[in-house]
Amino acid sequence: MARFGIGDKVCVEDTYPLGHIRTPFYIRGKHGVIADFVGEYLNPELAAKGESGLPKQPLYRVRFNQADAWPAYKGPSTDTLDVEIYEHWLAPAVE
């Protein structure tokens, strides 16, 4: 079951574990909004180690403001960036 719905505000985990991590370094700790539900997939972090990767993890397309993602961003404030992020890397954003 997907924990988040489209439009939910989320924060990416600000952690830096070793191993095969699909969440890009640059987006960790940033706030975004759920733009789409992509599907459920084997957990790549576990599958990478030869484990089954079950249970499957929901994968979301999360939208960020470019200005939030990059401290020195000089483009228009309306520019956004979509990143696909697994559910276990997301927490509800604290207002």
Residues found near other proteins in the complex (CB under 8 A)? 14, 16-21, 24-26, 42, 44, 47-50, 53, 70
User: In the complex with other proteins, which residue's Cβ is closer, 6 or 82?
Assistant: 82
Q: Is 24 helix (H, G, I), strand (E, B) or coil?
A: coil
Residue 74: Cβ within 10 Å count = 7
Q: Are 84 and 12 in contact (CB under 8 A)?
A: no
CB of 7 to other proteins, least distance (A): 25
User: In the complex with other proteins, which residue's Cβ is closer, 14 or 95?
Assistant: 14
Amino acid at 70: W
The single-letter DSSP state of residue 25 is G
CB of 32 to other proteins, least distance (A): 15
CB of 19 to other proteins, least distance (A): 7
Determine the length of the chain.
Answer: 95
